Structure 1
Amino acid sequence: MFSRALLSGQHARSVVSLGTRATATSVSSNAASQTQGDNPPEWRRPVRLQEPGKVRMGFIPEEWFQFFYKKTGVTGPYTFAVTLSTYMFSKEIFVCEHEFYNGLSLAILCIAAVKLTGPKLAAYLDKEIDEYENLWNKSRQDYKDSIINCIEGEKKAQKSMEGQLLLIVAKRENVALQLEADYRRRLMTAYNDVKRRLDFQVEKLNIEKRITQKNLAEWVVAKVQASITPDQEKQNIDKCISDLAAMAKA
């Protein structure tokens, strides 16, 4: 019976070694296909697993069972475990002394602690990790928002600079209009001054002409009056009276 267990254990070890080689060969071929295939290697950010890997019996990874399924079927891993245990116990490679039972008790206590307090502790740790991750994401998002705000502020500053250029052009036009208005005001002032002086000269000439005419008329009248004798004046008065009488009869 022990020889059969030994043979089965050796067979299982050979199967494990072959499987390990096959796995290493497949991993190396997959790595080579990734480096030389259609998908070139590139740096990728590592992603934290949300859930732990699947296990059986509390500590055996599911991948080990899947490895045996391809070679020996469903009962392969259990047969290998029983055979290896029988071989180790029969050859006293693994001796069941008092420490073994202490370890078995400790394992039972650990499993019970994991089953009872594991979900609560995992939820608490997940919450802490989520808060820590949210804090980092928030700080990164805040930094991104600050950069975006700086970019928007720079765009607004550029637009305001364009508005400042337009404002400068408008101010230049206003200054040009003010200069034009002051130029026209000065032209009007010069025009009014010249017009006033010309009007003064015209009025002076008119006054001089009127005074000349008045003096000339008075001089002529004085000369005429001086040339009329009293007899001529009497004759003129009589003639005027006769003319008035004739006009009255008519």
Structure 2
Amino acid sequence: MSLSRFLCPSNIRAVVPVRLAHASNVPSAVSTDDQPNYFQKIAYRFKGIPLKGETEAPKSMFDAVGKEWSAPEPLPAIPKDFKEHPDRDLTNYPYPARPMYPPKTRLLMMPDSWFTAFQKVTGVSGPYLFFGGLFAFLVNKELWVYEEQGHMTVGWILFYLLVSRSAGYKVDSWLYGEYQNRMNYFKGLIAEDLKDAVEFRKTSAEKTESLKAVRESIPTALKESMQLQLEASYRKNIENISTELKRRLDYLKETEAAKARFEKEQLMKLISSAVDKEIHQASFKEKYLANAIQQLQGLNVKA
């Protein structure tokens, strides 16, 4: 029971139950004829009912009280044929299943499995009478003795129930979000590690497909490639031969030119030395002078 039930009078028609106010997305606004006082406005705030002139419902800290959280996606089940080792006995030792939600309880905290075993024999009230009588017997015979602060256990139980019913929904939702973020982080690491493998697999598949497409043309391509290699080798050999022939012809040409130049130089030396000898002889000088005088006399006669 919330505080708003005591603060709000019973004759106000705009007040709706808490569960209906939580169930609706936007509660109906207060009627224009109503003039709520200070305490009624507090009650409307607790129930999430907008006041006059408000277009959106107020957010209350008690919206999640009493709600049961459920995961949007169930946990993935283990494949039936999964074995971490071939010798694993799944019949006698199956994998433990992780429950998606906590087991059903009674009296807010007692497991339902404690009651079902008695209920088949004693009926619905049998388990309650059994546990109640067992508790009374243990306390009466002082087999279960309370200490001085034993009564505080009831307070702690009530405190746990209060916190779990008020903030349990938000805590479970937050923990689930953090769990998903953590799982996404590890999935990102795995994807990053497998990125190279995925790329290699993709490229290898593409290469395989391309190889299948040109598989029939591979012998022809190899034959043509061999012919091109032979042609290239032939042309290279021809070029080497032509280069070698040109080098040898140039050598012979230079040899003949050097030989002719040497002969010419030797001939010029012989001629120049013979002329020098003839010039320096006395008979040559007299003969040259006599020939010159004769030519001068001939010129005088003609003149």
The TM-score with structure 2 as length reference comes to 0.39
The TM-score with structure 1 as length reference comes to 0.46
Structure showing the higher helix proportion among its residues: 1
Which protein, 1 or 2, shows the higher relative CO under an 8 Å CA cutoff with sep ≥ 6?
Answer: 1
- Pick the structure with greater CA Rg: 1
